[in-house]
């Protein structure tokens, strides 16, 4: 999330009216609008919001979402997901395998035979590391 978005979220969560918000910007950073802030000034403004009681929430998503698959491919995708989970690896790992093996950026873009071969490579990796 950009610092500009964080500033506007903090402003609304603290319940600042426009006049108070602009006064805070002028006092802390010497500007009247958040668009005029440089990164250092933005950090000072965010620190001031925290001093006033705003607590930033960490992002809820980590990594990328599970890929969606057609009904005919859900069983294989489920197996790939299980193998990744067992190895404690993210979907990005499978994406990088797809790129390395087939020059395809994402697992969900693989055709059926490529997806089967990716799953087989994950099975071989699991056997090699004693997980299967």
Statement: residue 112 has pLDDT above 90: yes
Residue 64 lies in a domain: no
The answer on 87 and 41 residing in a single domain is no
pTM for the full model? Answer: 0.55
Instruction: Determine the structural domain holding residue 26 and report its residue range.
Output: 3-51
Residues written for the chain:
132
| CA 68/CA 2 separation, integer angstroms | 28
The answer on 42 and 75 residing in a single domain is no
The answer on 76 and 112 residing in a single domain is yes
- Residue 57 has phi, psi (to 5 degrees) of -95, 140
- Residue 87 has phi, psi (to 5 degrees) of -85, 0
DSSP letter for each residue of 71-88: GGGHHHHHHHHHHHHHTT
Residue 56 lies in a domain: no
26 pLDDT tier (thresholds 50, 70, 90): very high
DSSP letter for each residue of 75-132: HHHHHHHHHHHHTT--HHHHHHHHHHHHS-SSGGGS-HHHHHHHHHHHHHHHHHTT--
85 pLDDT tier (thresholds 50, 70, 90): very high
Statement: residue 42 has pLDDT above 70: yes
**How many domains does the chain fold into?**
2
Statement: residue 61 has pLDDT above 70: no
Burial classification of residue 35, based on how many CB atoms lie within 10 Å of its CB (0-12 exposed, 13-18 middle, 19 or more buried): exposed
The answer on 76 and 46 residing in a single domain is no
Residue 57 lies in a domain: no
Statement: residue 103 has pLDDT above 80: yes
Share of the chain above pLDDT 90, in %: 77
Q: Is 91 left (phi over 0), alpha (psi -120 to 50) or beta?
A: alpha
The answer on 84 and 41 residing in a single domain is no
27 pLDDT tier (thresholds 50, 70, 90): very high
């Amino acid at each position: 999330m950009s610092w500009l978005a964080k500033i506007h979220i903090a402003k609304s969560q603290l319940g600042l009216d426009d006049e108070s918000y602009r006064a805070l910007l002028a006092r802390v950073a010497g500007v009247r609008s958040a668009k005029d802030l440089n990164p250092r000034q933005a950090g000072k403004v965010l620190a001031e919001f925290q001093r006033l009681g705003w607590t930033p929430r960490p992002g809820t998503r980590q990594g990328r979402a599970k890929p969606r698959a057609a009904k005919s491919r859900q069983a294989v995708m489920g197996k790939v997901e299980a193998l990744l989970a067992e190895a404690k690896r993210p979907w990005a790992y499978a994406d990088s395998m797809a790129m390395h093996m087939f020059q395809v950026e994402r697992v969900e873009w693989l055709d059926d035979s490529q997806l089967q071969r990716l799953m087989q490579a994950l099975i071989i990796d699991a056997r090699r590391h004693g997980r299967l």
